[in-house]
């Protein structure tokens, strides 16, 4: 993987409130270890990043739920240190109490020999103390402490992923954890378009990924095999009126009243349909509504004359140019990636 920061990812990091740290190439004794990283270890690193994304969400929740962030960060740091120790020494994990301290001490011995920046033991002490207060005394942590610890942990992973693995933490992709290959491919395409700063194309790929997730996550069979989450038929009382009264037309006042009633019922049914989908997808309602108002319309249609099914995106077909900002693309990409992980097969 490329360890230099792409301009897009510098912007991406800045917008997410993260510091972008430049590093010198790894050398000395560490170098031979960083050049030998297996796919299994990459997957474990990505899992650490996934835990950090969970913490990023929970840190902004209300008390006391926000305190779960501390447990998640502690687990993420422990996973990272265990993996780093294994990578640098080739040895299995350490046992005993004060496990974070033990890992940090052993790793710092290696870093000292190679004249590299050492793990800040004050950070390790702080995360241990906050975790113990919560776990053993049920002392809830105030939001400022939680957010500060999240920022410290974010920087810790960024700095030491580069040193230990010669990889850029921000370029580690959660898409590698997605089991559905079609959804994964769409999101990988979106990542490439984000790097190229072709944001509209990225949104098309994100929309395709979500279409597939929605097809999987909102298929709930009823008693007779029907999908009980399928979209309702549009109600039109004018058609019903004509059928009831032999094709005659209502007067203008009744016509407008019937149209308004039908519009109200259709709007309620649309809202109920969206709500049922949100529940079925296990999605956050506010995030879902924001996503829906941002992402371009994506559907599928039968390709004329061939019988093949293909994606249909009106903006793409009509060459409509829509300017998306990186924070909009990032939000949609993160939302769909989260949904894909929730619905892994």
Residue 320: name the closest of 297, 289, 302 by CA. Answer: 297
pLDDT digits (tens, 9 = 90+) for 281-335: 888 889 999 999 999 999 998 887 777 889 999 999 999 999 999 999 999 999 9
1 within a domain of the structure (yes/no): no
Whether residues 272 and 326 fall in one domain: yes
Whether residues 164 and 206 fall in one domain: no
Whether residues 165 and 210 fall in one domain: no
- Bridge partners (DSSP) of residue 311 are 300
End residue of a domain, out of 132, 150, 172: 172
The torsion of the CA quartet 331, 332, 338, 343, rounded to 10 degrees, works out to 170
Q: Looking at residue 232, what is its pLDDT?
A: 67
- The residue-averaged pLDDT of 145-160 equals 95
Task: Please state, in angstroms and rounded to a whole number, the distance separating the CA atoms of residues 334 and 342.
Answer: 12
Count: domains in the chain: 2
| Per-residue pLDDT at 20 exceeds 50 | no
Task: Please state, in angstroms and rounded to a whole number, the distance separating the CA atoms of residues 105 and 100.
Answer: 9
pLDDT digits (tens, 9 = 90+) for 257-284: 988 998 888 888 888 877 888 888 888 8
Q: Looking at residue 22, what is its pLDDT?
A: 38
Q: Is the dihedral of CA 114, 118, 119, 121 positive or negative?
A: positive
Whether residues 117 and 198 fall in one domain: no
Whether residues 152 and 189 fall in one domain: no
- Is-contact 227 220, C-beta < 8 A? yes
Whether residues 234 and 105 fall in one domain: no
292 within a domain of the structure (yes/no): yes
pTM for the full predicted model: 0.65
Match 């990283």 to its residue by tokens.
37
Q: Looking at residue 3, what is its pLDDT?
A: 36
- The residue-averaged pLDDT of 25-40 equals 57
Whether residues 166 and 36 fall in one domain: yes
199 within a domain of the structure (yes/no): yes
End residue of a domain, out of 138, 172, 206: 172
290 within a domain of the structure (yes/no): yes
222 within a domain of the structure (yes/no): yes
Whether residues 46 and 134 fall in one domain: yes
Q: What is the mean pLDDT of the chain?
A: 84
315 within a domain of the structure (yes/no): yes
From residue 282, alpha-carbon distances to 35, 56, 272 in Å are 40, 18, 15
Task: Please state, in angstroms and rounded to a whole number, the distance separating the CA atoms of residues 321 and 159.
Answer: 39
Residue 299: name the closest of 211, 186, 205 by CA. Answer: 211
Q: Residue 321: which H helix or E strand, with range?
A: none
Domain that holds residue 168: 7-172
| Per-residue pLDDT at 337 exceeds 80 | yes
Confidence of residue 227 (pLDDT cuts 50, 70, 90): low
pLDDT digits (tens, 9 = 90+) for 83-130: 999 999 888 778 777 789 999 999 999 999 989 999 999 999 999 999
Q: Looking at residue 181, what is its pLDDT?
A: 93
Whether residues 199 and 294 fall in one domain: yes
Residue 67: name the closest of 125, 17, 124, 130 by CA. Answer: 130
Portion of the chain with pLDDT greater than 90, in percent: 54
255 within a domain of the structure (yes/no): yes
End residue of a domain, out of 126, 150, 172: 172
Whether residues 167 and 186 fall in one domain: no
The CATH number of whichever domain residue 24 belongs to comes to: 1.20.120
Q: Looking at residue 245, what is its pLDDT?
A: 80
Whether residues 141 and 237 fall in one domain: no
Q: Looking at residue 27, what is its pLDDT?
A: 40
Confidence of residue 64 (pLDDT cuts 50, 70, 90): very high
Task: Please state, in angstroms and rounded to a whole number, the distance separating the CA atoms of residues 176 and 184.
Answer: 7
Whether residues 207 and 335 fall in one domain: yes
Task: Please state, in angstroms and rounded to a whole number, the distance separating the CA atoms of residues 225 and 71.
Answer: 43
149 within a domain of the structure (yes/no): yes
- Is-contact 178 344, C-beta < 8 A? yes
Q: For 3, which DSSP code?
A: -
């Amino acid at each position: 993987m490329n360890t230099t920061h792409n301009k897009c990812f510098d912007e991406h990091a800045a917008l997410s409130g993260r510091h972008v740290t430049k590093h010198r190439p790894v050398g000395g004794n560490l170098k031979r270890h960083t050049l030998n990283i297996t796919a299994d270890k990459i997957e474990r690193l990505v899992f650490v990043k996934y835990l950090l994304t969970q913490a990023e969400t929970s840190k902004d929740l209300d008390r006391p739920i926000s305190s779960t962030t501390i447990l998640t960060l502690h687990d993420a740091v422990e996973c990272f240190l265990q993996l780093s120790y294994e990578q640098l020494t080739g040895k299995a994990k350490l046992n005993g109490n004060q496990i974070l301290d033990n890992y940090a001490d052993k790793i710092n011995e290696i870093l000292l020999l190679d004249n590299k920046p050492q793990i800040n033991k004050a950070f390790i002490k702080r995360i241990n103390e906050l975790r113990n207060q919560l776990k053993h005394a049920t002392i809830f942590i105030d939001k400022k402490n939680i957010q500060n610890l999240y920022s410290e942990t974010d920087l810790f992973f960024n700095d030491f992923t580069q040193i230990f693995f010669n990889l850029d933490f921000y370029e580690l992709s959660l898409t590698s954890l997605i089991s559905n290959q079609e959804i994964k491919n769409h999101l990988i395409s979106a990542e490439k378009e984000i790097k190229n700063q072709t944001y509209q194309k990225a949104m098309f790929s994100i929309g395709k990924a979500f279409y597939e997730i929605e097809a999987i996550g909102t298929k709930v069979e009823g008693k007779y095999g029907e999908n009980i989450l399928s979209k309702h038929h549009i109600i039109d009382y004018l058609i019903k009126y004509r059928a009831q009264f032999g094709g005659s037309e209502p007067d203008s006042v009744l016509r407008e009243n019937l149209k308004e009633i039908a519009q109200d019922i259709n709007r309620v049914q649309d809202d109920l349909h969206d709500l049922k989908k949100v529940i079925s997808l296990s999605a956050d309602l506010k995030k879902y509504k924001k996503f829906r108002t941002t992402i371009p319309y994506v559907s599928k249609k039968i390709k004329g004359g061939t019988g093949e099914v293909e994606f249909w995106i009106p903006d793409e077909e009509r060459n409509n140019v829509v300017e998306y900002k990186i924070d909009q693309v990032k939000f949609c990409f993160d939302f769909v990636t989260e949904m894909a992980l929730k619905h892994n097969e």
